[in-house]
């Protein structure tokens, strides 16, 4: 079974370079002009016998592209890729930075949830009842 990181990178890598997250030190000319970053939190979901059956991932996918570029086609591809992955249509948010200097790029955030079953097993690999 793929990890959530592998699933997201696999779904998005043909649109723009995708990675888990970038550090502030990576700002500057070394970053790709078009890039996709993602982050997520998890919460337990759908309980049975007082234990969660699924892990719900609350995912944010961030798309960056040059200022002034028509990004509509790329954003549509991102939404279709995320829908194919999660069977949930993502919300799209234009992220505006509050800064003294004008932004040099566009920043969009796509939010959606993704359920993954929890595999309960002990150290020996046997399923715990």
Please answer whether residues 72 and 45 qualify as being in contact, where contact means their C-beta atoms are separated by less than 8 angstroms.
no
Read off the pLDDT of residues 17-43 as tens digits, 9 standing for 90 and up: 887 666 554 555 567 788 999 999 999
Contacting residues for 75 by C-beta, under 8 A, at least 6 apart: 63, 92, 108
What domains lie within the chain, and their CATH numbers?
4-117 (3.30.2000.10)
Global confidence as pTM: 0.82
pLDDT digits (tens, 9 = 90+) for 88-109: 999 999 997 766 666 788 999 9
Residue in this structure with the two tokens 């993954």, named with its chain if needed:
116
Q: Are strands 105-117 and 18-19 parallel, antiparallel or unpaired?
A: unpaired
């Amino acid at each position: 079974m793929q990890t959530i990181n592998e699933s997201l990178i696999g779904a998005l890598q043909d649109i723009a370079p995708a990675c888990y997250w970038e550090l502030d030190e990576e700002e500057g000319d070394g970053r790709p002009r078009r890039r996709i970053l993602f982050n997520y939190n998890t919460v337990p979901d759908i309980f049975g016998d007082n234990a969660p059956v699924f892990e719900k991932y609350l995912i944010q996918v961030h798309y960056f592209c040059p200022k002034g570029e028509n990004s509509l086609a790329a954003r549509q591809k991102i939404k279709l890729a995320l829908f194919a992955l999660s069977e949930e249509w993502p919300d799209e948010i234009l992220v505006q930075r509050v800064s003294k200097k004008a932004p040099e790029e566009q920043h969009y955030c796509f939010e959606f949830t993704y359920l993954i079953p929890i595999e309960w097993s002990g150290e020996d690999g046997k399923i715990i009842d």
